[in-house]
Structure formats: C-alpha cells, structure tokens
Amino acid sequence: MNKIEFTPNEIKSIIEGKKTQIRRIIDPQPPSKYDRLYLESGADYGWWWSKSTSGEGSSQQDLMIFPEHDFKKSDVINIGDNINLKIINIRVDRVQNISQSDCIAEGLEFMPTTMFFDLTIGSRFEEEFIKNNGPNSWSDNPWVWVIEFEKFTS
C-alpha cells in the first residue's frame, strides 16, 4: 500500500465526503523548455514535450520521461480508522489550471451567492495550496499530480 500524506483538514474533508481529489507537486519539475505532456493510454508514465521554436512541432529527441511516482491507479491508501481511498485516476496539470469543479473536488465549497470565481473558490484553493506548499508554490505554477480517489471503509 502506498502512502500519500494528507493534512488533518484534508482528512476531515475526505471523511465528510467533500474531498475526492488532491494535488501534489511533481518533484523534480521538468526544465522550462517542456510545456506539454503526453501520457500513454492506460499507463502510469509519459513524456514531456518541448516547446516548438520552429513552429513545426517537437521532435523525438525533444522528449523527456517525466518523474515516476509512488502511486498507481487502483492503489488503496489507508488514512486511518478503517477508511481507505482507492485511486481512480491520475493526471498531470499546472496547478493554476484548476477549474471550479476541481476546486470542489478538492473539498472546497462553492458559494453561489458570489459572482466571481477568482474571488471565491479559486482564491481559497490558492490560499490552501500556498499554506501547504510554501510562499512561491502558486506563483511558480508548478506541474502537479492530480490524484482522484474514492473513499470506502474496510
């Protein structure tokens, strides 16, 4: 069984059924010349594609395998008190690409009385991400593992 660390607030949100997704910074980050990801269908690995300077696309020699991780789709993670999480999907994204529905899956509640996404749920996710990952973690816009899971009891 693999281990993904959760904060006490994250565990509380999981137990309450609010959190079904988590983001973890990929370490090490790829060099800045890489800007896209190709993921093998059904695989737990892929390649970074480099930015094209000629406008003709990337060549095979511009590829770099992205870092391995300690978790795979279908892994089960115990978070205590007979509560387990089954990983149902893993993808890679830039942290600032998070959508409103992803913020909700991260355990944040949508406040329908406000009109501006950036001033509510998105900024609350940003604050939590900075609190958990450090002062420059949001502004650096790192690549992150997006891990989706289902809760079950054993």
* CATH code, domain carrying 124: 3.10.400.10
Exposure of 92 in the CB half-sphere (CA atoms within 13 A)? 24
Task: Indicate whether 61 pLDDT > 50.
Answer: no
Share of the chain above pLDDT 70, in %: 68
Q: Write out the residue range of the structural domain in which residue 126 sits.
A: 8-28+67-153
Q: What is the DSSP string of 62-107?
A: G-EEPPP-S--TT-EEEEETTEEEEEEEEEEEEGGG--HHHHHHBT
List, for residues 85-115, the tens digit of each pLDDT value. 999 988 888 999 999 999 999 999 866 655 5
Number of domains in the chain: 1
**Residue 62 burial by Cβ neighbours in a 10 Å radius (0-12, 13-18, 19+):** middle
Torsion of CA 48, 50, 55, 59, to 10 degrees: -80
More confident: 57 or 80: 80
pLDDT at 52: 52
Residue 23's beta-bridge partner residues? 146
Residue 132, Cβ neighbours under 10 Å: how many? Answer: 15
Is residue 103 domain-resident? yes
In angstroms, the CA 71 to CA 146 distance is 11
Mean pLDDT of 42-57: 56
Is residue 142 domain-resident? yes
pLDDT at 50: 63
Is residue 131 domain-resident? yes
List, for residues 72-88, the tens digit of each pLDDT value. 788 898 888 888 999 99
Is residue 51 domain-resident? no
pTM of the predicted structure, to 2 decimals: 0.79
